[in-house]
């Protein structure tokens, strides 16, 4: 008479358990509608000052929460039963083959590893499911007013970066993959000046004091400009295309050469006498503008750099990299140049920017934005989790609002504690139609105080009004 092995018997028991459990699940699903109907009847019978539609909406939301936790509970039970069955089978096989304590220890190690993986999976599932429900509550509390004011159209390829002058006259600068950089009138949307001095593949940065541009031709250019802002006038059909008629220059006043790869970013150090550049050669260079000499080469990143930013009032530089870190370089003491490494992201750090104070905000392709205290580098003081990769962020000076441009064409606004304030409107008629690459604040302008640009070849000026109540903790 054939004898059934231990492994086959255990597997048969597991199948029977799963079968009986699946029957219980079907019974639960069949009674779900009845339970919901009873809850609605009880809700209608209770006295409340809330409108019936709002109460019904709340009931639906709480029902979603209950179903999510019920599904997680059922999945947890099934996984635990499978783990117990697997452990029983492995234990039986281990005793048959070796029968020693060493094998039992190895099996326990495997079981604990499987349990840890299960725990991590449950945590990830729980966070992903509940975050959607919580975000639905947050969206209903926003009263921020976000209006599209002006579109700046004229580039022939995607716009990588944009910035606004820090002094008068106040103009908007854009840098594009079409090998050009443009200066725009913020009020009229007309192109004032076009720079065509780069020979490489695309201009990647436009930082304005004098104008500095970084390019794929492994150089950074500094060029002087003088523009006269036009008076805003009503648009007429015979005004022309605007951007095609703007004057252009092709010769820079200074060319900075030292990098061995694409120069992806540039920014002015406080004082306006030095410029820092970031490159795909894994280094950032600090130049003297008057002499074009290389002052310092900032090395240490393990992969290509993605961005660099300077502090508005102090001699501090922060560089971001594809090695998942960003570094803080301190030039306040001429004799000592210290560097601090911030580790907290799991993917490319696309940008890191200073705020007014002792904070740094970093964005990453891991879909998170983190707020750091310069006095404590070990862990961020706030973390913002999103549903898409984050590109070059910006922080407003007065209201301390973070603008997040995303790969999924969205631009979201958060405060420094990680609370979402608003999402810029996007539809077929307005907003970006492709990836949003960069954002820049300009709170000194009354009409447009936020700008964004993207691969749809346009920059957009927004008027953002955030009530004080939304920013209070």
Q: Which residues of the chain have pLDDT under 50?
A: 1-3, 19-28, 30, 95-111, 128-142, 235-243, 469, 473
Q: Looking at 124-227, which runs of residues are DSSP E strands?
A: 145-153, 159-164, 171-176, 181-185, 191-195, 203-208, 211-215, 219-223
- Angle in degrees, CA 284, 285, 291, rounded to 5: 165
Residue 276: name the closest of 306, 299, 301, 298 by CA: 298
Task: Give the chain's largest Cα–Cα span.
Answer: 102
pLDDT for the residue 115: 53
Q: Helices 6-30 & 32-45, crossing angle to 10 degrees?
A: 40
Point out which residues pair with 307 in neighbouring strands.
320
DSSP 82-127: HHHHHHHHHHHHHHHHT-SHHHHHHHHHHHHHHHHHHHHHHHHHHH
Report d(CA 322, CA 325) in Å as an integer: 7
Report d(CA 427, CA 449) in Å as an integer: 21
Number of Cβ atoms within 10 Å of the Cβ of 161: 27
Whether the CB-CB separation of 366 and 357 falls below 8 Å is answered with no
- DSSP class of residue 297 equals E
Whether the CB-CB separation of 163 and 440 falls below 8 Å is answered with yes
Distance in Å from the first CA to the final CA of the chain = 76
Report d(CA 472, CA 244) in Å as an integer: 46
pLDDT for the residue 89: 81
Whether the CB-CB separation of 409 and 433 falls below 8 Å is answered with yes
User: Burial level of 72, CB count in 10 A (0-12/13-18/19+)?
Assistant: middle
Pick left, alpha or beta for residue 438 (phi over 0 → left; psi -120 to 50 → alpha; otherwise beta).
beta
Report d(CA 49, CA 40) in Å as an integer: 16
Residue 351: name the closest of 297, 406, 302 by CA: 406
pLDDT for the residue 310: 93
Residue 217: name the closest of 268, 181, 160, 179 by CA: 179
Ramachandran angles phi, psi of 132, nearest 5°: -65, -40
Tell me: the pLDDT tens digits for 152-183? 999 999 999 999 987 777 899 999 999 999 99
pLDDT for the residue 401: 95
Number of Cβ atoms within 10 Å of the Cβ of 460: 25
Residue 467: name the closest of 124, 218, 252, 145 by CA: 145
Mapped onto helix, strand or coil, the DSSP state of residue 19 is helix
DSSP 418-473: S-EEEE----SSSS-SS-EEEEEE-TT-SS--EEEEETTSEEEEEEEE--HHHH--
R_g (Cα) of the chain, nearest Å: 29
Note if the bond before 143 is cis, omega within 30 degrees: no
Domain 152-225+246-397 = CATH 3.40.50.720: no
Whether the CB-CB separation of 287 and 244 falls below 8 Å is answered with no
Whether the CB-CB separation of 278 and 215 falls below 8 Å is answered with no
C-alpha distance from residue 466 to each of 147, 195, 297, 401, 470 (Å): 12, 36, 41, 9, 7
Report d(CA 126, CA 122) in Å as an integer: 6
Report d(CA 370, CA 61) in Å as an integer: 29
Chain-centre distance of CA 450, in angstroms? 17
Whether the CB-CB separation of 388 and 367 falls below 8 Å is answered with yes
């Amino acid at each position: 008479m054939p004898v059934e092995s231990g492994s086959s018997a255990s597997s048969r028991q597991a199948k029977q358990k799963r079968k009986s459990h699946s029957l219980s699940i079907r019974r639960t699903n069949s009674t779900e509608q009845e339970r919901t109907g009873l809850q609605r009847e009880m809700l209608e019978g209770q006295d409340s000052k809330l409108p019936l539609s709002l109460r019904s909406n709340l009931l639906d939301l709480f029902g979603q929460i209950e179903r999510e936790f019920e599904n997680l509970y059922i999945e947890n039970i099934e996984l635990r039963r499978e783990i117990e069955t697997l452990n029983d089978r492995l234990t039986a096989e281990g005793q048959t083959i070796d029968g020693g304590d060493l094998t039992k220890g190895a099996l326990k190690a495997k079981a604990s590893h499987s349990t840890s993986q299960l725990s991590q999976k449950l945590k990830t599932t729980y966070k992903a499911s509940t975050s959607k429900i919580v975000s639905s509550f947050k969206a209903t509390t926003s009263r921020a007013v976000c209006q599209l004011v002006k579109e700046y159209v004229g580039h022939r390829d995607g716009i990588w970066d944009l910035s606004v002058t820090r002094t008068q006259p106040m103009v908007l600068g854009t840098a594009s993959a079409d090998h050009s950089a443009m200066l725009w009138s913020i009020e009229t949307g007309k192109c004032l000046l076009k720079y065509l001095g780069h020979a490489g593949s695309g201009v990647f940065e436009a930082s304005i004091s004098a104008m500095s541009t970084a390019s794929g031709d492994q150089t950074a250019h500094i060029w002087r400009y003088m523009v006269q802002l036009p008076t805003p006038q009503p648009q007429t059909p015979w005004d022309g295309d605007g951007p095609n008629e703007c004057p252009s220059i092709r010769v820079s006043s200074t060319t900075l050469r030292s990098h061995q790869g694409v120069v992806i970013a540039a920014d002015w150090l406080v004082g306006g006498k030095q410029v820092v550049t970031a490159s795909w050669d894994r280094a950032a260079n600090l130049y003297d503008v008057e002499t074009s000499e290389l002052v310092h080469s900032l090395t240490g990143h393990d992969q290509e750099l993605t961005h660099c930013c300077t502090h508005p009032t102090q001699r501090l530089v922060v560089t971001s990299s594809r090695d998942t870190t960003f570094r803080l370089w301190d030039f306040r003491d001429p004799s000592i140049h210290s560097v601090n490494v911030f580790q907290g992201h799991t993917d490319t750090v696309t940008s890191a920017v200073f705020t007014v104070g002792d904070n740094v905000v970093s964005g990453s392709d891991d879909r998170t934005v983190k707020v750091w205290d310069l006095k404590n580098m070990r862990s961020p003081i706030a973390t913002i989790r999103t549903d898409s990769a984050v590109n070059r962020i910006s922080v407003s000076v007065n209201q301390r609002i973070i603008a997040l441009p995303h790969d999924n064409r969205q631009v979201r606004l958060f405060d420094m504690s990680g609370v979402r304030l608003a999402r810029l409107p996007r539809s077929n008629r307005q907003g970006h139609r492709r990836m949003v690459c960069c954002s820049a604040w300009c709170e000194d302008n009354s009409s447009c105080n936020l700008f964004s640009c993207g691969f749809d070849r346009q920059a957009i000026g927004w008027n953002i009004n955030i009530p004080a109540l939304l920013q209070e903790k």
